[in-house]
Structure 1
Amino acid sequence: MKCISESIRKTLNKKKLSPSDLARMTGYTPQYMHNLLDGNRRWNETTIQKTCDALDLELILVPRKTG
């Protein structure tokens, strides 16, 4: 889920928010949010949804580009 973490970090930077700000917005602890963003914890449907809601993001799945 590294791509999700990278996209969320870019959005945080664009909105001038920190991972701790995002933690407050989603109801998670700052440590938990840092662990998600650093790849030390796995994203799940609930954490992705709360994060997308907090940052006004939409998750869209598209087929991978091959070769």
Structure 2
Amino acid sequence: MQECYIKDGEDLIEAEFIGIYQHSRVIEPSPMLGGHPGGVIAHPIALVRVNNRFRQVNPFDVVMVEED
């Protein structure tokens, strides 16, 4: 795994980068006439490990550390 930092407000927290995945969820159709027809909403998430716990974060909040 690769070392990275995640942005938490103004702070950078040291983390271990696991990968980028797609998070999705099903949206039920609206019961209202002319409402949303339902479907799936999906977006990317970054999975990192901080203090031996997994966290889902916005991929734009991940700062990768270059390895030499």
TM-score by length of 1: 0.23
Calculate the TM-score normalised by the size of structure 2. Answer: 0.23
More strand by share: 2
Higher helix share: 1
Larger radius of gyration: 2
